[in-house]
Amino acid sequence: MAAGSEVPLSEVKFLTVAEVASVMRVSKMTVYRLVHSGHLPAIRVGRSFRVPEQAVHAYLRESFVGVESA
């Protein structure tokens, strides 16, 4: 995201690890692994993590594997 196109924090929707797991249809442990490995950005709030919703969508877009017919 370019510096000029950043969304104000007041407009960013943050998701819990459980919500991210539900959207991605994976376990919460998988989300924690993605966060700790740096593949999915998150902020720490106390002992919990919050993930920007747009980061989840960006991760899924970048991870998409297309199937080409031969």
Q: State residue 45's pLDDT score.
A: 94
In angstroms, rounded to a whole number, what is the distance separating the alpha carbons of residues 18 and 29? 10
What is the predicted pLDDT for the residue at 4?
A: 54
Total number of domains constituting the chain? 1
Q: Is residue 10 one of the residues assigned to a domain?
A: no
Q: Is 6 exposed, middle or buried (0-12, 13-18, 19+ CB in 10 A)?
A: exposed
- Asked if residue 2 belongs to a domain, the reply is no
pTM equals: 0.79
The answer to whether position 58 is within a domain reads yes
Q: Does residue 19 surpass a pLDDT of 80?
A: yes
Q: What are phi and psi of 52, to 5 degrees?
A: -60, 135
Q: Which pLDDT belongs to residue 3? A: 52
Q: Which domain holds residue 39?
A: 18-62
- Predicted local confidence at residue 5, as pLDDT: 64
